[in-house]
Amino acid sequence: MLILIFAMLMELTFYKYQGTGNDFVMIDNRQQIFDKNNTKLVAKLCNRRFGIGADGLILLENHPKWDFKMVYFNADGNESSMCGNGGRCLTAFAKFLGIIENKAIFEAIDGLHHAILDNHVVKLQMQDVLSVEIHNQHVFLNTGSPHHVQMETQLKNLDVKELGSKIRYGNPYKDEGTNVNFVKKLSDNRFQVRTYERGVEDETLSCGTGVTAVALAMYETGETKNKLIVLETEGGNLQVSFEKNKDTYNNIWLIGPAEQVFKGSITC
């Protein structure tokens, strides 16, 4: 019986990556060893006290046609929508594993993504954005994940968790929820951003689809005329470049560092 119990336990090798402070447990799941339906396990691995600790968990899997497949889980254990910083970190992980050189095409939940590595900087092409909703006090758009964007005069003392969760759980978002980005304009092409992330249910040090949403929202509302924007986040600077053709934003690139923090193993 004891042997059976031990057999049930698994020694899991993982890697920890971070992209401007948005951090992830990375697992090479090309052999399909990880149980994707085990929400409790994902949440435990992401728990900063009882597990490894991360904003999310990402599986790298084989793909029949493209370099690899990305499967993303929020820290709450649920599979979720696209993670921009996670996609950048996964590209760096794929290079570390020898799967790619300095370019990648991979499939994520929102479709195909091209990525280019230049040392520790990863450029990730995001999906085109066809709809930017301008409301009285905020902008809403989906850049692979849903984002509420609102301007604030001061970000330093803002209670991002308090205000962000009220918006995320309130109307019109309710259970589906949204990520929430608070923005302060620094100059014509620079904005400071703090983000409350759905599925982490707290502020994260940066959010890739979030800063992408902010860049497009600032252009759409006339806060900038630039198409290469610097976003200063709590975890570091990211850049977003894009083009606008008629009502569509395309050729959108999220640019920033991605780093392996450590390798480990855990019995679970």
Ligand X SMILES: N[C@H](CCC[C@H](N)C(=O)O)C(=O)O
Residues at the interface with ligand X (CB under 6 A): 22, 55-56, 74, 80-81, 83-86, 145, 179, 197-200, 207-210
Catalytic annotation on 83? yes
Amino acid at 68: F
How many Cβ atoms are within 10 Å of 229's Cβ, its own excluded?
23
The smaller minimum CB distance to ligand X, of residues 51 and 208, is found at 208
How many Cβ atoms are within 10 Å of 210's Cβ, its own excluded?
30
3-class secondary-structure state, position 246: coil
Nearest distance, CB of residue 182 and ligand X, angstroms: 15
How many Cβ atoms are within 10 Å of 254's Cβ, its own excluded?
29
Selection from 265, 225, 216, 256 nearest residue 123 by Cα: 256
Selection from 131, 76, 129, 85 nearest residue 108 by Cα: 85
Catalytic annotation on 268? no
Q: Are 111 and 105 contacting, i.e. CB atoms less than 8 angstroms apart?
A: no
Q: Are 177 and 198 contacting, i.e. CB atoms less than 8 angstroms apart?
A: yes
The smaller minimum CB distance to ligand X, of residues 191 and 267, is found at 191
- Which residues participate in the annotated binding site? 22, 74, 84-85, 179, 197-198, 208-209
Nearest distance, CB of residue 68 and ligand X, angstroms: 18
The smaller minimum CB distance to ligand X, of residues 82 and 132, is found at 82
The smaller minimum CB distance to ligand X, of residues 22 and 192, is found at 22
Q: Is the dihedral of CA 218, 220, 225, 229 positive or negative?
A: positive
Task: Give me the catalytic one of 46, 83, 89, 268.
Answer: 83
Nearest distance, CB of residue 104 and ligand X, angstroms: 17
What CA–CA distance (Å, rounded) separates 238 from 255? 6
- Which residues participate in the annotated binding site for substrate? 22, 74, 84-85, 179, 197-198, 208-209
Nearest distance, CB of residue 244 and ligand X, angstroms: 21
Q: Which residues pair with 49 in a beta bridge?
A: none
The smaller minimum CB distance to ligand X, of residues 80 and 91, is found at 80
Selection from 230, 254, 239 nearest residue 89 by Cα: 254
Catalytic residues: 83, 207
